[in-house]
Amino acid sequence: MVIKNVTFYIKSENIKEFIEATIENRDNSRKEKGVICFDFLQCKDEPNKFLLYEGYKSEEAMEEHLKTEHFEKWINAVEKYFSSPRDKVTYIPV
């Protein structure tokens, strides 16, 4: 199993569009065979801060996710909404 956490800071004026696009990506990602979980969270205290918590069966499944049509559509739509670069961290079980 591999867990990836991705933190995003979104421009205030684009929060609604980011949420809509990310919900669509989340729903399609959950249908992938190699996905264990795919959760989308908004920070309670900082409404422009979001987290994707992604669980994959393997590193290969994580890489395959990045090649899907829905991921490509999503990243091309939302990159312009970022107010700073994404913070990505990958975890493995101990």
How does pLDDT run across 45-55, given as a tens digit for each residue?
999 999 999 99
Q: Give the tens place of pLDDT for each residue, 68-79.
A: 999 999 999 999
Instruction: Say whether 76 sits in a helix, a strand or coil.
Output: helix
From the number of C-beta atoms within 10 Å of its C-beta (0-12, 13-18, 19+), residue 73 rates as middle
**Average pLDDT of the residues in 21-38:** 98
Domain segments of the chain: what residues? 2-91
Tokens representing 38 are 């795919």
Mean pLDDT (the chain, rounded): 97
**Topology of the domain covering 2-91:** Alpha-Beta Plaits (3.30.70)
pTM for the full model? 0.94
